[in-house]
Homo-oligomer: A and B are copies of this chain.
């Protein structure tokens, strides 16, 4: 019912709506949202319409109601637990990050092969991957952030999947081979930078 492209947009709507709400607004219009999100007004209306969210022909959309309905669609009233694997540069940054709560998430544990990393210096307990199953069982975790080096990425991913992980946020620049029921989202800083380089380069030539 809701496809991948849409989820991305829905989140943009949500973020924009939260911003507008914080500014004290109570209602909004497809055009304002468009302004705020960069998504065309028609498309916004189509999305809402398709999701069964309806506005008023002149009064626009009620922000609170909208947020509520988006929350329903995104599901997960209850907080969801996440784990983090790999405490390198990116991993350590993510363990210090404080925004999980805001997104209704909770980072419950981190994992690293290096015993030196497994100290109490971090905000969450750090374990060896051997303890993975314990943690996933205890906290009912199905999503993992994976910030491990490229060479061990596939192995780690397979291990995570074996132990019940169904969603992986992967920072390694490799295409992970996982079963169909597992979803991988990739974040690759270098790739994004290179794309910028390429396009600024093009502009110079033109």
Contact = CB atoms under 8 A, between A and B. Distances in A.
Number of copies: 2
A196 B11 contact: no
Interface in A174-190: 174-175, 181, 183, 185, 187, 189-190
Contacts of A105: 190, 193-194, 197
Contacts of A45: none
Nearest to A103: B190
A79 to B, nearest CB: 10
Contacts of A194: 11, 74, 103, 105
A72 to B, nearest CB: 12
Contacts of A55: none
A57 interface: no
Interface in A83-121: 89-90, 92-94, 96-97, 99-100, 102-103, 105
Contacts of A197: 74, 76, 80, 105, 143, 167
Question: Which bucket holds chain A's interface residue count?
Answer: 35 or more
A198 B94 contact: no
Contacts of A191: 8, 11
A49 interface: no
Given A2-B198, A167-B197, A187-B187, 18 more contacts: A74-B194, A74-B198, A76-B201, A90-B97, A100-B190, A103-B193, A105-B190, A105-B193, A105-B197, A142-B200, A145-B189, A145-B193, A166-B200, A167-B196, A169-B193, A169-B196, A183-B200, A185-B195
26 contacts: A2-B198, A4-B195, A7-B195, A8-B195, A11-B195, A75-B202, A76-B198, A76-B201, A80-B197, A89-B94, A89-B97, A90-B97, A92-B93, A103-B193, A103-B194, A142-B200, A143-B193, A143-B197, A145-B189, A167-B199, A167-B200, A168-B196, A169-B192, A169-B193, A185-B196, A187-B192
